[in-house]
A = this chain, B = another copy of it.
Amino acid sequence: MRDDRGRQRVIIEGVRPAVDGGRFPIKRTIGDELIVEADVFADGHDALAVALRYRAESVPQWTEIPMEAIGNDRWRAAFPLSNIGQYRYTVTGWVDHFLTWRRDLIKKRDANQDLRLDLLIGAQLIEKAATQAPKEVEQALSRWVKELRATDAPEADRIRAALSAELAGIMAKHPDRAQASLYEVEFAVIVDREKARYSTWYEMFPRSCSTKPGVHGTFKDCEKRLPYIASMGFDVLYLPPIHPIGKTHRKGKNNAPTSRPEDHGSPWAIGSPDGGHTAIHPALGTLKDFRRLMERARTHDIEIAMDIAFQCSPDHPYVKEHREWFRIRPDGTVQYAENPPKKYQDIFPLEFETDQWRALWDELKQVVDYWIEQGIRIFRVDNPHTKPFPFWEWLIGEVKRTHPDVVFLAEAFTRPKVMNRLAKIGFSQSYNYFPWRTTKAELTQYFTELTQSDVREYLRPNLWPNTPDILTEQLQHGGRPVFMSRLVLAATLGASYGIYGPAYELGEHLPREAGSEEYADSEKYEIKRWDLDRPDSLQEFIGCVNRIRRDNPALQRDGSLRFHAIANEQLLCYSKRTADGSNVILVVVNLSPHHVHSGWLELDLASLGLDADQPFQVEDLLTHAHYLWQGERNYIEVNPHSAPAHIFRIRRRVRTEQDFDYFL
């Protein structure tokens, strides 16, 4: 305080957005505008000037734009995020003596006070600015100094000169910032490509893609599946691990502790004499085949997401070549995974507490780098919460420094604070509790938290109604209407969502045993053959919902989510809306699979940008039925046996000058 900071009268506090005071970056996507706010004030009543400073990480120079006072000492400005990568931002502010003087001069003039001394004070301020300004500005300012000091001129002329907008403009451009305050934190924002925010995932086991029964599918078979996936509107195809599978302690069908010779094992038991994390399972094809699949997928606007599961089968080359990366037991054997009393003898976890941790980190990064070289830009990370947080923070940071277009999805269905931390340290998207949030109260509470609290700044939820590990009780018992309603919920509550197919569209719902969330005859342990042409497939319905997502930008973001009241516990109603209000979607979902439900909506019209006294049009985008509504209260009925949800687009009425009405 006794150093020069003692002279910095301007206080800057409460800079937002920020995660943990700036310890972690916030997240945005390209083309967004980042709105920054801060509390800025000083002692006394002097006028302030406040500026937002920002720069792309790689550019040392700051760009500054003035912040505007929006009341209660809060200031705001926004800057464009034109490129992917990282930006920095912070806030600076200073007391503006000229602005203070000018403001007070006007008040005194309006009170008819004697201004002679004030004009001389103003001249002093301008003179001081002149000495610090570039040559040509100095000359201009000196002219004003003379005018303000021209005691022989009429006072009215001198006041007019003093208050001229041109002078104010020049003085604002050349302020005295010697005592400016600069906020001590440089905040970071990660700017991702759009897919990090808005993505539609399809998970599929490549080995089940053959059309011939019992035959191991290949990448070539996957290629043939692409039009089918594209027809449903998915843009990310996520494949479970494609690496060689270990034989030692291989699990049999339904996770049996021993396997028969014809069993194919779990793709997550990675590594065999054929190779480890950078090798490809020979039965699937070659690296060339895989690259061709990626290319073909791209022609359908589909990107391949790769699974990153940093764990090893006992046959993984690392086990022989790098015993120092495993935990060795007193009998000299390698410690397998366990969650006592459960044992997973087919899986050896990597030992991050090894003294050779730096070499281990480097090797794992090289795995990621290798697949990036092959063209992969999306990684779905298996169980990230069982590896140290500093490792992920380092890995993701390093990867994105050279490849800011890479997207990481964290597969961590674990404790809330662990999930949040993984998002903070860099994961682009996060699995979450959606599968188990089924009632109106649960969904409302959870998605309000995800989209309205600070969590929204760093965690992007990716909603999965099912995964190969999760067949929820609701899906087991609810029948087709629940498969439809859960899909609509995932697709409209989440800008990113995914399904594990074809299990999902074919309504696969039998558990291994009662009370289990495991599938009976799970695809994790065997090759399945799916009849994609079944008449009860949801293929068409899913395609329709994903088309609605694509056509309505309101559904491609989460921040605008608002729930609307309806006095029926089985009906959930919510809306999303683009920032400019040009696209507004209202969804009503019947959460009960068995009954028709109806009720009176009580819409929060302000959040929809609607006037209470103007009718508005609602179009059900699933059925193309149109209705004309007005005001908050509107009757709604949802029959789960036709469709368990309405997805309405809302259009305001606009009246032209010719008294012609249309809906926009």
Contacts and interface: CB of A to CB of B under 8 A. Distances in A.
Interface string A177-209: 001000000000000000000000000000000
A515 interface: no
Contact of A330 (B44, B107, B120, B352): B120
- Copies of this protein chain in the complex: 2
A549 to B, nearest CB: 34
Contact of A41 (B107, B330, B339, B418): B418
B353 A179 contact: yes
Contact of A108 (B6, B7, B340): B340
A82 interface: no
A354 B338 CA distance: 70
A11 interface: yes
A340 B417 contact: no
A418 B40 CA distance: 10
A9 interface: yes
Contacts of A416: 72-73
B417 A72 contact: yes
Interface stretch (A27-35, A382-390, A588-596): A382-390
Contact of A8 (B14, B390, B417, B418): B390
A6 B357 contact: yes
Interface string A14-56: 1000001100000000000000000101111100000000000
Given A353-B7, A386-B44, A104 B393 contact: no
A13 B417 contact: yes
Contacts of A73: 415-418
A322 to B, nearest CB: 18
Contacts of A417: 13-14, 39, 41, 72-73
Interface stretch (A109-117, A457-465, A504-512, A601-609): A109-117
A370 interface: no
A154 interface: no
Interface string A536-555: 00000000000000000000
A338 B341 CA distance: 78
Contact of A391 (B6, B41, B418): B6
Contacts of A41: 415, 417-418, 421
A357 B7 contact: yes
Contacts of A393: 1
A329 B117 contact: yes
Interface string A372-400: 00000000000001111111011001000
A629 interface: no
A552 to B, nearest CB: 37
Interface string A323-354: 00000011100000011110000000000110
A13 B20 contact: yes
B13 A421 contact: yes
A483 B262 CA distance: 91
Contact of A341 (B108, B124, B340): B108
B43 A121 contact: no
Interface residues of A, number: 59
Nearest to A104: B340
Contact of A45 (B7, B21, B72, B339): B339
A6 B352 CA distance: 10
A261 to B, nearest CB: 28
A179 B390 CA distance: 12
Given A2-B394, A353-B179, A113 B341 contact: yes
B389 A11 contact: yes
A217 to B, nearest CB: 34
Nearest to A6: B390
A663 to B, nearest CB: 40
A61 B287 CA distance: 60
Nearest to A73: B417
Contact of A385 (B8, B13, B43): B43
Interface of A: 1-2, 5-9, 11, 13-14, 20-21, 39, 41-45, 72-73, 104, 107-108, 110-111, 113, 117, 120-121, 123-124, 179, 329-331, 338-341, 352-353, 357-358, 361, 385-391, 393-394, 397, 415-418, 421
Given A73-B416, A124-B330, 15 more contacts: A1-B391, A1-B397, A6-B358, A6-B361, A6-B388, A6-B394, A8-B390, A11-B421, A13-B417, A14-B417, A41-B418, A43-B388, A107-B341, A110-B341, A111-B340
The 5 closest A-B pairs by CB, nearest first: A111-B341, A1-B394, A120-B330, A107-B340, A21-B21
6 contacts: A2-B358, A6-B391, A14-B417, A107-B340, A111-B341, A117-B331
